[in-house]
Amino acid sequence: MPRYYTKVCNFYYGYQSRLLIEEKKTLPLNGSKEISFDEIEIISRNSKKRISIKKINKLPYSIKKIVKNDIKIITSKKKKFQNLSFENIPNIMGVLNTTPDSFSDGGKYNKIKLAKKRLDYLFKCGADLVDIGGESTRPGSKTLSSKIEWNRLKDILKKIDKKKVISLDTRKSDIMEKGINLGISLINDVSGLNYDNNSINILKKYKIPFVLQHSLGNPDKMQNNPKYKNVLLDIYDFFEEKIKFLRKVGIKHNNIILDPGIGFGKNLKHNITIIRNISIYHSLGLPILLGISRKRFIKELSGINDSYFRIGGTISSGIYAMKQGVQILRVHDVNEINQSIKVFKELIK
């Protein structure tokens, strides 16, 4: 029998969602009344079928069993971790790069006073957590030594408020351990734990939450004609297999966030396919993070209307992702994103 995947779709948000759940016309995402759905797509590598949730019981038994199990996972309430709630979505992850060469803000915050000022500003603007990185992983970037990376990070990490949620953006296990010892809350490894074989041992040792991101190869070559059989399902299978492996090696907790890695070994078509169909990953049962801030796909879509900060494209794709139930948005412009979300939520009350 083909492998089937369940993608929830046709979402409702805010007041309309609460009303439809009460009338039992929709099902809640993650147990939240704020967002719900009334249709699903049943997808295989050779077919796609969209149906109302009312017609699930009419499916052939073997498919119905898969779909019902997926629906149970999708509608189940997610537990908080590191003070992150996955009911009132989205959480906002601010970005702080202490690098001279990151694709958007390289060189702006690579001095300790500037970095601390930016960190405080991001939290003041309403960031739920901030992702701090000392190595650029933009397309074409070269690998940095641990010594240089740590020298860029250590001063700002020594100044973090332990009450705040700080994510450490690194691929290296020694940097992870040093950061954990200074009080960081979350590990964000853009390589999907594939760069450093010891990273899994560190995550297991400290039982720290982490982001599992998909990336096709290392940054220096990841944009060299990336290819997939089916980008959406290939990434789903990557997550599923990696989670099974993590369970096998002894990481049993569910404090794991999934990031499909927009721009990490993907062309425009791949990126748009992922964003349009991001809700397929809800059936994996873990929170989804999406990094869309200022990325190249915005330039490719907007043409002559491209701009340096790409705030318009970031906001539109961020609200689209929020309406698909994405629990965390990783963005540079925290104030502007929060502004757009507050206005949107007020308008749909």
Range of lowest pLDDT (86-90, 98-102, 124-128, 244-248): 98-102
Question: Is 295 a catalytic site residue?
Answer: yes
Q: Has residue 106 got a pLDDT over 70? A: no
Query: Tens digits of per-residue pLDDT, 170-197?
Result: 999 999 999 999 999 999 999 999 999 9
- Mean pLDDT within 56-80: 96
* 8 Å CB contact between 311 and 340: no
What pLDDT score was predicted for residue 136? Answer: 80
In contact, 26 and 40? CB cutoff 8 Å: no
The total number of structural domains in the chain stands at: 2
Q: Is the per-residue pLDDT at 104 higher than 60? A: no
pLDDT (tens digit per residue) in 276-313: 999 999 999 999 999 999 999 999 999 999 999 999 99
> In degrees rounded to 5, what are phi and psi of residue 93?
-100, 115
Give phi and psi for 127, each to the nearest 5: -65, 135
User: Containing domain of residue 19, as a range?
Assistant: 5-75
CA distance 164 to 327: 18
CATH code at 103? 3.20.20.20
In a shared domain, residues 53 and 202 = no
Q: Which of 43, 75, 107 is the last residue of a domain?
A: 75
- Looking at the structure, do residues 15 and 156 belong to the same domain, yes or no? no
Catalytic option among 330, 342, 345, 349: 330
- Express each pLDDT in 147-163 by its tens digit: 999 999 999 999 999 89
Strand partners, 188: 169, 211
The string of pLDDT tens digits covering residues 217-272 is: 777 666 777 899 999 999 999 999 999 999 999 999 999 999 999 999 999 999 99
The structure tokens 């369970």 sit at: 247
| DSSP secondary structure string for all residues of 169-195 | E-S-HHHHHHHHHTT--EEEETT-S-S
For residues 189 and 291, membership in a common domain is answered with yes
Radius of gyration over alpha carbons of the chain, in Å?
20
Q: Please indicate, yes or no, whether residues 62 and 112 belong to a single structural domain of this protein.
A: no
Identity (one letter) of the amino acid at 339?
Answer: Q
* Catalytic member of 118, 295, 296, 310: 295
